Amino acid sequence: MKCTRCKIPAVVALPSHHAAFCRDCFLLFARRLVERAIEEHQMFTAEDRILVAISGGKDSLALSWQLKELGYNIAGLHIDLGIPESSPIARQYSERFCATRGIPLHVLDMAAEGLAMCEVKRRARRPICSVCGQTKRYFFNKFAMENGFTVLATGHNLDDETSRLLANIMRWDVEFLSDQGPVMPAQNGFAKKVKPLFRMSEFETANLCFLAGIDYGYAPCPYSSKASFPVYKNLLAELEDRQPGRKIHFYDGFLKRGQGGFTAQGEKDALVQPCQRCGYPTSAGECGVCRLKDLMGVTP
Ligand code: SF4
Ligand SMILES: [Zn+2]
Ligand SMILES: [Zn+2]
């Protein structure tokens, strides 16, 4: 197998792109996928202060590495979820990566907030992933807004995006479908959110880490079996095997021809108002995190 670009022996085959690449050409290919996503969707420019959500896993580290390589002004935010089996490892990888790559890293400790996820899991009446996801979104947004960041970037890849899209379609969840895409503009107290890796598959981000020498953590969350998207990921992986390129066409097609129909129904904006206690945008009187704090007995 030869590199499609320079004809030396290839190290990675990408059937979805009908290509194979050597190390240097793969890194160039990955860089261009990210540059294309940023430019096509006007995610940010060199003037922006970008906060990257860093979990310590391959996607968030690949994203941070690539944005730093491209010369953007980035800082990381890691949320230590307080899950004994996985959080210390995730935090360690995040801190080590940022220290060696010269990326400023902020850490928010959920145990210090009285919201360690192992405790929350014992008391919450909702599925833990739903509470955990809501808590992470709250603190990432709050930190970005309070610290002068103009954009919040996350490492969602093509597999994350397509599996979520398929799950939302299977439920015809109009509210989520109207929100889904690589860019969410700043509005109603929410920071602008972007997903610069949305054109890269999980396989490609893993290769990027390997070939760029990024040491990422693999400490699966012990509660992850409760998450619902893997089943859709597996279905799409099977489809991609049979029809290379299917995932990106599915997602691009939604952005070009499907999404507009759902955003047109956007009644959601009118319902959003600041939480009576903390000011975070919410559709109820008090936001979910303030209610969670009550449940956990956290004094304001
Ligand atoms: S798997 Fe669920 S509980 Fe674990 S980190 Fe992810 S969202 Fe949180
Ligand atoms: Zn090459
Ligand atoms: Zn609140």
Q: What is the CATH number of the domain that holds 165?
A: 3.40.50.620
Q: Which atom of ligand 1 is nearest to the CA of 222?
A: 4
- Give the closest residue to 204 by CA, choosing from 145, 250, 158, 160: 158
Give yes or no for residue 64 having a pLDDT over 90: yes
Alpha-carbon distances of 64 from 48, 49, 126, 194, 213, rounded to whole Å: 15, 13, 32, 13, 13
Ligand 1 site residues (CB inside 6 A) read 81, 117, 128-129, 132-133, 221, 223-224, 227
pTM (global) more than 0.85: yes
Answer whether residue 22 is part of any domain: no
Mean pLDDT for the stretch of residues 199-223? 93
CA 194 to CA 138: how far, in whole Å? 16
CA 137 to CA 101: how far, in whole Å? 25
Atom 1 of ligand 1 has which residue's CA nearest to it? 224
Domain of residue 269 covers 44-295
- Reported as a single tens digit per residue, the pLDDT across 74-87 is 999 999 999 999 99
Answer whether residue 25 is part of any domain: no
- Reported as a single tens digit per residue, the pLDDT across 48-61 is 999 999 999 999 99
Atom 3 of ligand 1 has which residue's CA nearest to it? 129
Number of separate domains in the chain: 1
Closest ligand to the CA of 11: 2
Answer whether residue 224 is part of any domain: yes
Answer whether residue 262 is part of any domain: yes
Answer whether residue 35 is part of any domain: no
Query: pLDDT value at position 264?
Result: 66
Answer whether residue 13 is part of any domain: no
Q: How far does the centroid of ligand 3 lie from the alpha carbon of residue 285, in Å? A: 9
Q: How far does the centroid of ligand 2 lie from the alpha carbon of residue 105, in Å? A: 34
- Reported as a single tens digit per residue, the pLDDT across 216-243 is 887 889 998 655 678 899 999 999 999 9
How far does CA 182 lie from the centroid of its chain?
A: 10
Answer whether residue 8 is part of any domain: no
Atom 7 of ligand 1 has which residue's CA nearest to it? 129
Answer whether residue 3 is part of any domain: no
Q: How far does the centroid of ligand 2 lie from the alpha carbon of residue 37, in Å? A: 22
